[in-house]
């Protein structure tokens, strides 16, 4: 049978209640008998550690996100399933549920603990029933749960590592909180071997949102795979693999995220190449065409590995800038920016500069990195303007071509920003009135100072003027 319990008012953990908390129980029976085993899985990215119990029997203590408790024997029948904030008496969920003899159950906490989350995305516990039977000889037993609340229904493809996506997904149109195969039904069994799991938006096979790369599945494995949120990652999800015995582990997207920007103010439009080390530029490794100052590509998903990057004037294969041995790790994010001046020397020499990107948001705050990429500007302070003057200096003494090493965490709102030479109050650039920048809650942005201060003479003559470039890092 299928039951839904709703608990409490819209206070958070500290108040002992979770807003709109829903417990979803699928295929529960009511038979009396022994040999019932239940385990708890924590799959909520923003919820704290919790203690979980059934009928007063602890299932897991202080279990954290991406962790699972082992199976615990309980009595069959009806009893309270309770979830407490770890090491407290604050009960955030208590509901009478029924479990049947000779079955295994996984109680998976999914959803968001944020009071700002839409009601349909708030915390929920999905209870999955399994017969507990071992996989057949030479087989692997699999069940999949969609536990990423902000991700719409997905298609899941399980293939050999080198195979293209087939015409039909292995699991089609799986919505949030759904289970495949369904709770209580026999799990999927596949021969042991090497596989690849790819996830796309339902009905859109052209967009691979998650790619596991090659996975080796050993005979006898019994895995529950939970799609969980991965904030700030290459993919919006990862897979939490929960074996029948042993610790849970995370399977991340093996691709890397790469963003390219043209921030060299006197360099014409360029083509960008990403290639194996030592490889020549060619049409096959050209990834961007006709990129002009101050354009950025947004994040591209590419296979992880070590690359050479190069730029050439648009239509040419002859490199004008190169960066060799750029490491793009699995699930990592990097930005490669063309900076400096054509004809520049020393610190102003043209080059490709790589930056590591931290794209993980902070709830309720705007996360801001500042980059000084203006080749003829001195070291600067970033200032917030208000009431005709400088109200704050959140960044001091930032020199070309550096970025702040610690992100600024700012309240959401609109800020009027400018830069001044370090320690001074004027001139305020790029204009005396500053530049309004609106920052949303949970946003992640990079604010780059780019362009030339002196476009009339000197090494920046004829270059693009000084400006702020606001990059969305999400």
CATH assignment at residue 208 = 2.60.40
Same domain, 157 and 269: no
Mean pLDDT of 196-203: 98
Same domain, 246 and 260: no
3-class DSSP state for residue 122? strand
Q: How many domains does the chain have?
A: 4
Same domain, 312 and 238: no
- Burial of residue 55 (CB within 10 Å: 0-12, 13-18, 19+) is middle
Same domain, 373 and 432: yes
Give one DSSP letter per residue of 357-417, joined into a string: ------TTSEEEEEEE--TT--SEEEEEEETTEEEEEEEEEE-TT-B-SS-EEE-SEEEEE
- Domain termination residue (choose one: 98, 132, 166): 132
- Domain termination residue (choose one: 132, 151, 178): 132
Which tokens in the block code for residue 313?
């004037």
For 257-278, b/e burial (b = at least 16 CB within 10 A) is: bbbbbbbbbbbeebbbbbbeee
Higher pLDDT, 332 or 26: 332
pLDDT for residue 73: 95
Same domain, 371 and 387: yes
Same domain, 394 and 443: yes
Taking the C-alpha atoms of residue 432 and residue 427, their distance in angstroms, rounded to an integer, is: 7
Q: What is the pLDDT of residues 133-180, one digit of tens each?
A: 999 999 999 999 999 999 999 999 999 999 999 999 999 999 999 999
pLDDT greater than 80 at residue 208: yes
The alpha carbon dihedral of 46, 51, 56, 57 has a sign of: positive
pLDDT for residue 34: 54
Task: List CB contacts of 109: < 8 A, sequence separation 6 or more.
Answer: 40, 41, 42, 43, 44, 47, 50, 52, 83, 123, 124, 125
Q: What is the pLDDT of residues 14-54, one digit of tens each?
A: 333 333 334 444 333 334 445 899 999 999 999 899 999 99
Same domain, 34 and 74: yes
Mean pLDDT of 236-264: 97
pLDDT for residue 97: 81
* Residue of 359, 433, 367, 363 lying closest to 394 (CA atoms): 367
Residue 172 and residue 202 in contact, taking contact as beta carbons nearer than 8 Å: yes
Taking the C-alpha atoms of residue 285 and residue 62, their distance in angstroms, rounded to an integer, is: 49
Q: Residue for token digits 């700012």?
A: 410
Same domain, 213 and 303: no
- Domain termination residue (choose one: 311, 330, 357): 357
Residue 166 and residue 157 in contact, taking contact as beta carbons nearer than 8 Å: yes
Same domain, 297 and 388: no
Residue 50 and residue 119 in contact, taking contact as beta carbons nearer than 8 Å: no
**Residue 437 belongs to a domain with what CATH number?**
2.60.40.1120
Domain hosting 220: range is: 137-253
Report pTM: 0.86
Same domain, 353 and 391: no
Give one DSSP letter per residue of 157-183, joined into a string: EEE-TTPPPPSS-SEEEE-TT-EESPT
Band of pLDDT at residue 83, cut at 50, 70 and 90: confident
For 71-98, b/e burial (b = at least 16 CB within 10 A) is: bbebbbbebebbbbbbeeebbbbebebe
Same domain, 439 and 316: no
Give the CA distances from residue 44 to residues 110, 114, 147, 235, in Å, rounded to whole numbers and listed in that order: 5, 10, 8, 17
Same domain, 193 and 152: yes
Please give the share of the chain, as a percent, with pLDDT higher than 90.
85
* Residue of 215, 211, 194, 216 lying closest to 253 (CA atoms): 211
Count of CB atoms situated within 10 Å of the CB of 280? 11
């Amino acid at each position: 049978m299928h039951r839904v319990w709703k608990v409490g008012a819209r206070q958070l953990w500290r108040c002992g209640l979770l807003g709109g908390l829903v417990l979803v129980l699928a295929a529960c029976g009511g038979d009396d008998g022994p040999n019932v085993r239940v385990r708890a899985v924590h799959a909520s990215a923003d919820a704290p550690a919790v203690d979980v119990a059934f009928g007063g029997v602890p299932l897991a203590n202080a279990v954290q996100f991406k962790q699972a408790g082992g199976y615990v024997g309980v009595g069959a029948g009806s009893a309270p399933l309770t979830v407490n904030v770890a090491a407290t008496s604050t009960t955030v969920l208590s509901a009478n549920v029924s479990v049947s003899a000779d079955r295994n159950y996984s109680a998976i906490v999914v959803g968001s603990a944020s009071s700002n989350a839409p009601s349909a995305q708030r915390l929920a516990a999905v209870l999955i029933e399994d017969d507990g039977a071992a996989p057949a000889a030479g087989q692997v037993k699999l069940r999949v749960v969609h536990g990423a609340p902000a991700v719409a229904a997905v298609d899941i493809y399980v293939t050999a590592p080198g195979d293209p996506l087939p015409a039909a997904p292995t699991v089609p149109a799986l919505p949030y909180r759904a289970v495949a195969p369904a709770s209580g039904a026999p799990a999927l069994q596949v021969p042991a071997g090497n596989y690849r799991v790819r996830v796309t938006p339902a009905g859109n096979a052209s967009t691979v949102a998650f790619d596991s790369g090659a996975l080796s599945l050993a005979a006898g494995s019994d895995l529950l795979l939970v799609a969980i949120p991965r904030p700030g990652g290459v993919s919006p999800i990862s897979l939490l693999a929960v074996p029948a015995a042993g610790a849970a582990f995370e399977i991340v997207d093996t691709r890397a995220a790469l963003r390219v920007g043209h921030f060299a103010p006197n360099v014409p439009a360029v083509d960008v190449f990403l290639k194996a080390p030592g490889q020549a530029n060619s049409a096959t490794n050209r990834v961007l065409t006709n990129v002009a100052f101050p354009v950025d590509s947004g994040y591209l998903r590419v296979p992880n590995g070590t690359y050479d990057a190069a730029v050439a004037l648009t239509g040419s294969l002859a490199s004008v800038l190169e960066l060799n041995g750029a490491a793009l790790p699995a699930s990592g994010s990097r930005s490669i920016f063309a900076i400096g001046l054509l004809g520049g020397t020393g610190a102003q020499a043209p080059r490709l500069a790589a930056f590591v990107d931290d794209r993980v948001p902070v709830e309720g705050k705007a996360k801001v990195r500042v980059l000084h990429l203006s080749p003829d500007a001195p070291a600067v302070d970033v200032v917030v303007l208000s009431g005709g003057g400088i109200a704050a200096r959140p960044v001091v003494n930032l020199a070309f071509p550096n970025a702040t090493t610690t992100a600024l965490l700012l309240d959401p709102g609109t800020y009027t920003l400018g830069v001044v030479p370090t320690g001074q109050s004027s001139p305020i650039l790029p204009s005396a009135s500053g530049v309004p920048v609106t920052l949303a809650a949970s946003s992640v942005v990079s604010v780059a100072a780019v362009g030339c201060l002196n476009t009339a003479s000197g090494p920046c003559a004829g270059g693009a003027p000084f400006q702020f470039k606001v990059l969305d890092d999400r």
